[in-house]
Amino acid sequence: MAQWLAAQPKTIVVQPTTLCPMDCTYCYLLERHLKQEMTPQVASAVADGIGPSWEPVEVVWHGGEPLAVGLTRFVELLQPFESLRQARRVRHKVQTGGGRPITDAWCDVFEQYEIGVGVSIDGPRELNHHRVDRGGRPMFDRTIAGIETLKRRCIPFTVLAVVSQDGTGQAAQVLDFMRDLGTSWVGFNIEAKEGANSDGQTPSIDHARQFWRDTFEWCRRNNDVTVREVSNLLGFLGLTQERRDADSQHDPIPTIAWNGDVVLLSPELLGVRSVTYDDFVAGNVLEDDLSAIVQRSDELLYVQEFTNALETCKQTCEFFSFCQGAHAGDRFFEHGTFAVTETDHCRNSVQAPVLALAELLQAKGSR
């Protein structure tokens, strides 16, 4: 177990509220219609649980829509982390879907607490048809208005974009849009079946390959936007053979719900129930120290199954040295168990980029 899972997280995901005013058709959050908010007492317990020996951690405020908790409560939730932030042991990030306006007052908070900002937008207007409010109205203009505020205030932002079937043929248009938007970093999530999005349409690996081929080509001609998946793969190829062959440890990514419940490995497991794995909750920070909850993770069936499956991945998959086993949650959402290896997610987001780059290099070599 110790071989596969890091004892100290590098990332903690914190859910200030379950509520999201949006109703994106591919959203995985089951409780997004409920207004359940984290109290400062829970935030204090999270901060107190960050072990003194831990390396600096990124605290990602994710939701629901994190801004939906309101500015006053959000600032209250930040206070317990202040001594850690000032000692550079914690840095904050907020990932907003644009479901609440990004105002100057929010920008003041981002600046004061040195909060990294991530925005979710899927590309040009026509590719954002999944991103709607509760009345089914498009969110695009409201998200763009928030981004304009960030730009006016010179606050840098990253972008997470979901790539659905209809976006797989439009990589260049999406990346042109991202560059013109003013971001320098984009992470692409190929649509997958997760949580409440159990009916999601997952693109085929051939469509994903086309998307990644076009993405590599775009990145070859443009260097103003870093694409997470391209950067990860090129970074891996730049390693020595010895480091490429070494196993890396998975971040347990403790995700703390509004009420202090902690799930491990995958934020998407929050609020999910299963006959086999119950509620995935590893403990509650109001009752137990976060470090202790992480340390006894190997008692959980889903963690045991995932780490055993990593061993199988290592024995059987030719992509393992780059992949290191991909995401845990996708195994469960696609197959109902963690005791499997291949998923649509790993085919489309790990195997497809590798195959796409190999095809491009092969084509270049044969010219």
Q: Which stretch binds ligand SF4 (CB under 6 A): 202-210, 233-241, 256-264, 339-347?
A: 339-347
Residue 313 near ligand SF4 by CB under 6 A: yes
**Identity of the residue, 60 or 326, whose beta carbon is nearer to ligand SF4 in the bound complex:** 326
**Identity of the residue, 205 or 286, whose beta carbon is nearer to ligand SF4 in the bound complex:** 205
Residue 320 near ligand SF4 by CB under 6 A: yes
Residue 139 near ligand SF4 by CB under 6 A: no
At closest approach, how far in Å is the CB of 268 from ligand SF4? 16
Place of tokens 């649980």: 49
At closest approach, how far in Å is the CB of 341 from ligand SF4? 4
At closest approach, how far in Å is the CB of 309 from ligand SF4? 8
- Kindly list the distances between the CA atom of residue 123 and the CA atoms of 126, 150, 209, 272, 279, in Å, as whole numbers in the listed order: 8, 18, 19, 29, 34
**Identity of the residue, 113 or 322, whose beta carbon is nearer to ligand SF4 in the bound complex:** 322
What residues contact 143, with CB distance under 8 A and at least 6 apart?
Answer: 97, 98, 119, 120, 121, 128, 131
Place of tokens 């409201």: 142
Which tokens in the block code for residue 19?
């509520």
At closest approach, how far in Å is the CB of 287 from ligand SF4? 34
Which tokens in the block code for residue 256?
């703390």
Q: Which stretch binds ligand SF4 (CB under 6 A): 38-46, 68-76, 219-227, 318-326?
A: 318-326
Residue 120 near ligand SF4 by CB under 6 A: no
At closest approach, how far in Å is the CB of 343 from ligand SF4? 6
Residue 351 near ligand SF4 by CB under 6 A: yes
Strands, E assignment, 39-198: 57-61, 90-96, 116-120, 157-163, 185-190
Residue 300 near ligand SF4 by CB under 6 A: no
- Kindly list the distances between the CA atom of residue 75 and the CA atoms of 34, 40, 78, 79, 81, in Å, as whole numbers in the listed order: 21, 10, 5, 7, 10
At closest approach, how far in Å is the CB of 217 from ligand SF4? 23
Residue 194 near residue 28, CB atoms below 8 Å: yes
The Cα–Cα gap between 219 and 222 comes to: 5
Residue 118 preceded by cis peptide, ω within 30: no
Residue 65 near residue 96, CB atoms below 8 Å: yes
At closest approach, how far in Å is the CB of 331 from ligand SF4? 8
Residue 323 near ligand SF4 by CB under 6 A: yes
Which tokens in the block code for residue 344?
């649509």
**Identity of the residue, 163 or 346, whose beta carbon is nearer to ligand SF4 in the bound complex:** 346
At closest approach, how far in Å is the CB of 310 from ligand SF4? 8
Residue 354 near ligand SF4 by CB under 6 A: no
Residue 30 near residue 271, CB atoms below 8 Å: yes
Q: Pick from 67, 192, 350, 357 the residue near ligand SF4 by CB under 6 A.
A: 350
Residue 38 near ligand SF4 by CB under 6 A: no
Strands 255-256 and 226-227: unpaired
**Identity of the residue, 13 or 328, whose beta carbon is nearer to ligand SF4 in the bound complex:** 328
Q: In what order do the strands lie in the sheet with 185-190?
A: 226-227, 185-190, 157-163, 116-120, 90-96, 57-61, 11-14, 255-256, 261-263, 283-284
**What DSSP string runs through 164-186?**
-GGGTT-HHHHHHHHHHHT-SEE
Q: Which stretch binds ligand SF4 (CB under 6 A): 141-149, 241-249, 299-307, 323-331?
A: 323-331
Residue 202 near ligand SF4 by CB under 6 A: no
**Identity of the residue, 57 or 317, whose beta carbon is nearer to ligand SF4 in the bound complex:** 317
Residue 317 near ligand SF4 by CB under 6 A: yes
**What DSSP string runs through 235-292?**
HHHTS-HHHHHS--PBP---EE-TTSEEE-S-GGGTT--BTTTBT---EETTTS-HHH
Q: Pick from 326, 352, 355, 357 the residue near ligand SF4 by CB under 6 A.
A: 326
CB atoms within 10 A of CB 175: 24
**Identity of the residue, 291 or 351, whose beta carbon is nearer to ligand SF4 in the bound complex:** 351
Footprint on this chain of ligand SF4 (rule: CB under 6 A): 313, 317, 319-320, 323, 325-326, 341-342, 346, 350-351
